[in-house]
Structure formats: C-alpha cells, structure tokens
A and B are shown apart, each in its own frame.
Chain A
Amino acid sequence: MNDEIDMILGGAQGAGLETTVQILSSAFASSGLGILADREYYSNIKGRHSYVHAKVSSTEIPRSLESSIDILGCMDAETVFTHFEDVREEGYIIYDSSVDDKTQDEIKSLEDPLRERLEDRFDELGVEGTVSSILDHLEEEKDVEAVELDFPSILKELQEKYEMSSSQASRYVSSILIGAVSGLMDLEKNSIEKGIEKKFEGKEKIAEQNMFLVGDVTDMVKEEHGSPLKMEKLGLDEDQLLMVNGNEITGMGKMTAGLGFQSYYPITPAADESLFIEKHAGEENVLVVQTEDELAAVTSCIGAALTGTRSATATSGPGFDLMTEGLGWAGINEVPMVITYYQRGGPSTGLPTRGSQDDLMTALQSSHGSSPRIVLASGDHHEAFRDAVKAFNLAEKYQTPVIHLLDKFLANMVRTVPLPEIESLTIERGELWEGGEDYRRFEDGPISERAFLGEEVMWYTGSEHTESGNVIEDPEKRLKMKEKRMNKLDLADKEMDEDERAIYFGPEDPEHLLLGWGSVKEVAIDSIESLEEKIGYLHLRTFSPFPEEKVLSYLKKADKVVAVEHSYSARVSEVVSLKTGFEIENEVVKYTGRPIYRDELVRSMKDVLSGRVSREVLKHGP
C-alpha cells in the first residue's frame, strides 16, 4: 500500500483537464485522502499546454509538492514531451497509444526553447524522438510502466453506444484519464460517481456517459496492470472538510467578515475571487460590481466604505499599480477598506498566469507621500481565511486601508482543509460615533469616532485637512493631522501581538534559520523537516506594522539565515534590512513563476548551509 502519490495530469488548455481534476480531487477527498493540487497554465484560452501537479496522501493533508512523480497522465503527446523526465523509477505513464509515432516537430504549441532543449536531450539519451521511443527509454532506464490506451477506439465505443458524433465524443477524453488513474489507484467507484454527479449536476445523461467511460477504462487498466498504486485511507479526525482553492477560501473569509461591496476589474489571478463571491452572494446580497477599470474599482470601493459598508476590491500587480493614487486618498481620509492583492509574475504583463512574491515593496510603499497602511500576507488556505476576516477588523479598528497579500500559487491551489473555526472569530468595528452635536470626522486622535455617510454631515478631502475635513495648509495643523494619522500605525504596532505577526516553526534553539512568507510557508516547513541540520523556519505574516523585535531575536540567534522567496532579489531581505538593520546574507529564490518543490529547496539549502554558495536560483518546473 502507498501512503503518498505524486502525479501530473496534463493536456491542452480547454481540452477537459479542469473537469478531470475536479472529479478526481472530489473522489480523493471523499475517499478520505488529503490532496494538494497546483494548477499551471498559459495566458491562453485554448490550445496551450496546461497541467495539474498534485500530491495525494493517506497520512496527512499534503503541504508541498515533489519534482518527481508516480503518475504522469497525458491527454496528448505534448504532455509526454514536457514531463517525461519527471516520472520516478517504477512510475506510470498513462497515454494515448495512437500518438506513438508522433514527434515534437508535429506539435505546434510547443515553445521553441523547450523544443531545442528536447532535441539536445534526445541526442544525449540516444532517443529517436517519437512518443514510443521515449516510453521505451523510460521502461528500460527507470522501469516506468506505460499504461497504453487507444483513445480513438475507446471514444468510438462511447460514440456508438450513445449515438453521438465523433466531435462530441472527443470531449470525453477527461474521463479516460479519470478511469486510468482510478484503475491504478483502485479508487472506489462510488467516490468517482459522486464527483461526476457533482460536476454534471442536472445533466444526468452526460454524467451517465462519463461514468460509463470511466468504468470501462478502469476495468481495462485493472486487468492489464492491476492496481499497484492503491492507497490506505486517511486517518483524519474531521467528518467534514472543505475542498477549495485560494480564491474561494479568501472569498469565503471576506463573506464571513460581512463584506457588503466588492468592486473589481477582470485580471488573472484575482478575478475568480470576485466571481466566486458574486455567485454565492445569496441572502447576504453582497454587491459585486465589475468596474470600468481599476481606478474605478478602488475609488468606488472607498465610496462604499464611507457609508459604513465593509468594502473590498481584489486585484493583481498591474491593477494594483493603477490603484495607488486611490490608496493614498484612503490613507489621508482614514478609510477602512481592503485590497486583496494576488501577486503574479511581473513587471508589466510579465508572466500573467504564473506565481510571484515580487510585489512586497509595492504593497508596502506604493503611492506618494506617507500614510499608515497595514499589510498582511497569507501562507496557506487556513491563513487566507483568517486574514480575510482580520483585514476588515484591522481596517475598521485603525481606520486605514489594509492590503492582504496572496499570490497565484495559492489562488489556484486546490486543497482539502478542515472547516474554518468560525466560532473563534469576532467582528470588530472599531470606534464608532454614537451621536451628539457638532460631529467632526477627524476629531481627536489617533483614532476618531467614525460616523457613516448618511448619519451626520461630514467632509472628506484628499488635501490636508482640519478635524472637520476642510482643506488647510497651515503648518501647525499639518503637523498635528499628519502625526494623528501616522500614530495609528504605532498604536497598531503596540496592540498587535508580535507572535501572530511572525510565527516560528521548528526545533527549539535552531542553529540556522530559514526566513520566508506567503506561499513558501508549507514547502519551507516540509524542507526543514527533511534537513539534517537543526534549522527552523520563521514565517512572516504581517509586514506593516513590522514585528521587529521578534524577527530580530530569531535572526540574531541563528548561525546562518537564509531568505526564501519567489522573486529575483529576496524582497523580504530588503524589508528586514530596512526595518531592523539586519543584513541577511543568504537567499534561495525562484522567479520562473513555477512553484518551489520540496526536494529542490532541500538540495539548495544543503548547498547554502554548507557554505558553498550564498545564493541559489531554483529552476524546476516546465
């Protein structure tokens, strides 16, 4: 029995991979397995290679991915070419035997640099270059077993049985892959059925056809190969779990917090969160508005916040850039609003569908002048939910914008997670005006009593202003009002527990320290557990106000400190240096936009800890 299976399922964008993954994930989860699935795709609607890289576990909810895999499920020849070297010894490749003779030259969607690398590699390996030659090579060298399935004839059978056209039948390739994985892993029929029914709710006929195909292929694969990858069941205590991606769990958090208004302009990988909220607006009637641009997204969000509505917008780097002027206005006018910021590869359009953590400085410092802002960063699904709620509480308590940093990895990462502990959550609305005479919005400080538009007469202005909100340029008043606002951040620094702003994982008194934030969290924790050295991981969760004391105390104790980040220059080291004066000398960075895999991080850490290098650039992932 296996307790962990790593797999990649790949195919052309729009060819049904999404369906495959939804049904399989649902089947894994309902069979009591833990799942973590990363989604990699191009900025493209149809035709480019996309894949899902997943880990399924019967002992825990997985935290990170391995670069090598047990199963490679190929919907097309391109998937074989792109991923064949990732398959482990004694692994399995599911593929369409009708493409046996195909060479990479026939695949137009392959990018040229990969084509060139493949040519060189085939020369090195002495491989002819057809799909079957690759499979022969893998069988000889790594004992990899090919699960040969003749897709056209399997689909032909379906076509005849249900009297459909061949183009209709071609849309069922996803079920061939599901059937093959199900056969190898001996998944319970019932759990697959549930997944299919959920996916095709209200479309009984389509569900039935998919079920037929899955059953057919499962039997074929079992007969030929047995079920060598059967797994034990996960011994989880939970009787209910959520299976969600980061966009969804963040949306759930915002809705639990009482979100009333969300504006957005379409952008990957943030838009799915807004669509999720709109779809589930339900009786809470959250108003989700697609605005004409991000300038309007941020400013309409501010307008809504002035009425006392919990308001947010969700965006990514290019959109956030456009929002910065609005952010400054919200700062000087002490507006509680939340920007949910999903980072992707930049600058400019950069790698629009790939992950990044390169916007830390942008989140902390963009916008001219200075005003207080709170910056939270989430490292996993659980944190994303908690932070989404916390963001609104902090925004209202300190009457200032909050930026909630996430990234593309988390946005699209599907995971089974325990239900959020809603019972432990509170909704804190901060200082509110309780009525009386002569209301002045910016009276006293640092925190003024907040009335909503509609309750009292009040003025707001982006210019420096008096307590009443009227424009003023008097130097003394400028000092007073500027200090009033900036003091809020000092207050937040005093009131927010440093232990929640930076969390330490690992042994007591570590010799070395790995420092990171956001979605490097889980792979960092897995990696320190795999290293022989006594090393801990310090996870930063709040960048403003920065938990200086706690961070510094860990940094000072460590022999070697290594920053790990999805960026070119380890932004976190720059921030630490600015805030504490401590210079972090080592870094492991990745800026291909692909996830950091456990084994590559462990390998690079060994190099850094041994003193051979002080900087490693990770590259794995096609």
Chain B
Amino acid sequence: MAREYGTENWIEWCPGCGNFGIVSSLYRAFSELEMEPEKTVLVSGIGCSGKMPHYVDVSGVHTLHGRAIPFASGVKMANPDLDVIVNGGDGDLLGIGAGHFVALGRRNLDVLVMMHDNRVYGLTKGQASPTLPRETQTKALDSPNIQDALEPLPLALISGYTHLSRSFAMDSDHLKEMIKKGIEHDGAAFLDVLQPCVTYNDIHTSEYFKERIEKLNDWDPEKDKNEVYEKLDRETDKILTGEIYKDTDKPSFSERLSEGYKEKSPSQRPIEEDGAPILDKEKFVSKFEEFVVEPEL
C-alpha cells in the first residue's frame, strides 16, 4: 500500500494557494517512488515555499533566505546516499540566492530544485519577484514593475543543469510526473512550477496560466542545448510545460570526484577507534613526510 507522506502540522498557506497542489503532487511522487523518509531530505529557504518541509514526513531542513541550495549541496556532498530536494520561491532562488542557483548547475550535483514560481514575494506582502515581467502591476505594487523578468529555464540551461522541466501547481498529475523525473535524474535538475498567488498576484492567476500552458508533445528532451534554447525563446503567448531538456552524458558532481569518495563518502568514513584518532602518529608522520625534519645532531 502506498505510504502517506503528510504530517500532523496544520498547513498554514492561504486557502487556494498553489502550494497545496505542489505538496500533494510531492506526496504522490514520493509514494510512487517509495521514497525512504529518513533517506530523503527536503531543503527549503524562506517564504511560503520555505514552510514545505514541515508538511512532509521526510527529513526537512528549513534554512535561510536564499541559501537552500548551498545547504542542500553540503548535505548531498557529505552523504550522496541521500535524495535531496530543494523547494524555493522565485525570489529565494533567483533573487537573493541567484549565485547559488548558477553554482549548482556548474557542479551538476544530483539535487532536484523545485521553484515555486508565482512572480511575487508573498510572505512580505506582495513585492515584485525576479520572474515578474516589466510593466506589470500586481495589486500590492504602487506602480508597474520597472525591472525585467528573468527567464528561469534558459538561465538553468546555460548554468549547466542537466534536467529541465516545467509544470503547473494545479495540474497534479503532470507535476507529479515532473517531480519523479527530476528525482530520478542523476545530476542537477530544475523544475519550474508555475503557481498562482491568490492573495497578492491578481494577474498571473490560475486561469491566466491555464489559458497559456501548452504541454510538450512528441518532444525528446535529449536534445542539443541550442535547440532547447530556441524552443524556449519562441515562447510568446504560450508557456511550454513538460520535460524540456535532459543530458545524461555530462558527469555528475560525485562522478567528478575521486574513486575514494565514491567508495566512502565523508559521512560514512570512520574517524576514531576507541576514542583515538584514526590518523595515529605513524600515519601522521608518513602522511606529512615532506614537513618532517630529522636534524643531524
């Protein structure tokens, strides 16, 4: 029987929030993949999306604004046996944390990043996020946005992510599949989750997305980067969803490390024997031989 992944905590998102769709899709994906709760780590930043780990019965690390990715990276690098999934908002991942977003792609570390893309900062009352288009005025803004929107998928593509997908919070079947593909991919995966903010974004509503979403059909994601870029670039009125890009050739971060790391990761290595350091005096002298001087007296 499928396992339940909910917790007893009261879910405190606004009624109708896209996050309900995201968390229920996550439960379903985990259930279908039979994720081991203690071997699965959900890492989040700050904001509405940051609360996610408290509603999912796997290990959760609710971190600092913008830093979910480096926290997650440390966990994954030290213990590659864990499945690590980041949930962050658009402001968290592409505003305050943009440097880390790029760095994860460069490492191709085996982490799935799910971006809750609602184009506003919800928890601080509706300011413009990095994905809000210029000249758009959502209801909490005093005047139209004067900064251009960032394109998350092309940014992820050129940063080196090897799995890219997009889905919609209110299409649970589709989102669940995209989450599963992201988790199963060995390398850095980015999933852009379009989501309404019912309280602060009166423009990019559920209806807005529904009218524009076009699911990719007959699209083999294992394509040349340029072809993917062009496909995304041609998006105008339509918003493409689905598995857009996949590269299984590029070595993941752990494959780039030494043989020794693959055999025994930092978290699995013994460091003491009966309370004494593994690096005893004899090993110390041979390890640091070049610093040892034997004076001729």
Contacts and interface: CB of A to CB of B under 8 A. Distances in A.
A419 B38 contact: no
Contacts of A287: 77-78, 257, 261, 265-266
B96 to A, nearest CB: 9
Contacts of B78: 260-261, 287, 303-305, 307, 309, 311
Interface string A206-222: 00000000000000000
A416 B295 CA distance: 11
A425 B66 CA distance: 39
Contact of A457 (B59, B74, B100, B288): B59
Contacts of B37: 457
Contacts of A416: 293
Interface in B43-91: 43, 46, 51, 53-54, 57-64, 66-67, 69-79, 81-82
B69 to A, nearest CB: 8
A188 B187 CA distance: 57
A462 B63 contact: yes
B182 to A, nearest CB: 19
B75 A307 contact: yes
B289 to A, nearest CB: 10
Contacts of B278: 258, 284
A260 B102 contact: no
Contacts of B284: 252, 256, 419-420, 422
A280 B288 contact: yes
B296 interface: yes
A251 to B, nearest CB: 9
Contact of B62 (A284, A422, A471): A471
B152 to A, nearest CB: 18
A30 B63 contact: no
Nearest to B279: A256
A303 B72 contact: yes
A308 B71 contact: no
Given A242-B288, A296-B103, A32 B74 contact: no
- Residue in B76, B103, B295 whose Cβ sees the most chain A Cβ within 10 Å: B295
Contact of B261 (A30, A233, A238, A285): A285
B148 to A, nearest CB: 23
B285 A30 contact: no
A416 to B, nearest CB: 7
B41 interface: yes
Contacts of A422: 277, 279-281, 284
B276 A452 contact: no
Contacts of A238: 295
A200 to B, nearest CB: 13
A286 B287 CA distance: 13
A26 B75 CA distance: 41
A453 B295 contact: no
A429 B274 CA distance: 11
A267 interface: no
A240 B285 contact: yes
Given A285-B266, A287-B77, A470-B54, A31 B67 contact: no
A72 B214 CA distance: 77
Interface in A281-334: 281-287, 289, 291-293, 295-297, 299-311, 325-326, 329
B224 interface: no
Contacts of A241: 292-295
Contact of A461 (B54, B291, B296): B54
Contacts of A306: 61, 74-75
A300 B102 CA distance: 15
Interface residues of A, number: 86
Contacts of B296: 30-32, 188, 190-191
Nearest to B65: A325
B236 interface: no
Contacts of B62: 459-463, 471
A266 to B, nearest CB: 14
A307 B81 CA distance: 11
Given A300-B74, A329-B63, A256 B79 contact: no
Contacts of A282: 287
Given A30-B295, A422-B277, A258 B79 contact: no
B99 interface: yes
Given A307-B75, A458-B59, A284 B67 contact: no
A29 interface: yes
Given A285-B261, A427-B275, A299 B266 contact: no
Contacts of B277: 256-258, 389, 422, 425, 427
Contacts of A311: 74, 78, 266
A287 B78 CA distance: 8
B74 A244 contact: no
B258 interface: yes
B15 interface: no
Contacts of A305: 74, 78
A428 interface: yes
A244 B287 CA distance: 14
A242 B37 CA distance: 48
Interface in A21-42: 26, 29-32
B9 A296 contact: no
Contact of B294 (A239, A292, A295, A297): A239
B290 A198 contact: yes
B53 A261 contact: no
Contact of A307 (B46, B51, B58, B267): B267
Interface in B164-223: none
A601 B261 CA distance: 50
A285 B271 CA distance: 12
Contact of A303 (B9, B75, B99, B285): B75
Interface in B233-277: 257-258, 260-261, 264-267, 269, 271-272, 275-277
A32 B79 CA distance: 46
Closest 3 CB pairs of A and B: A303-B74, A258-B271, A260-B266
Given A239-B295, A283-B260, A287-B265, 9 more contacts: A29-B295, A31-B295, A236-B295, A261-B77, A261-B266, A292-B70, A304-B75, A459-B61, A462-B46
12 contacts: A32-B296, A236-B295, A242-B291, A260-B78, A260-B267, A260-B269, A295-B66, A300-B70, A307-B75, A419-B292, A426-B276, A454-B267
Interface of B: 9, 37-39, 41, 43, 46, 51, 53-54, 57-64, 66-67, 69-79, 81-82, 99-100, 102-103, 257-258, 260-261, 264-267, 269, 271-272, 275-281, 284-285, 287-288, 290-297
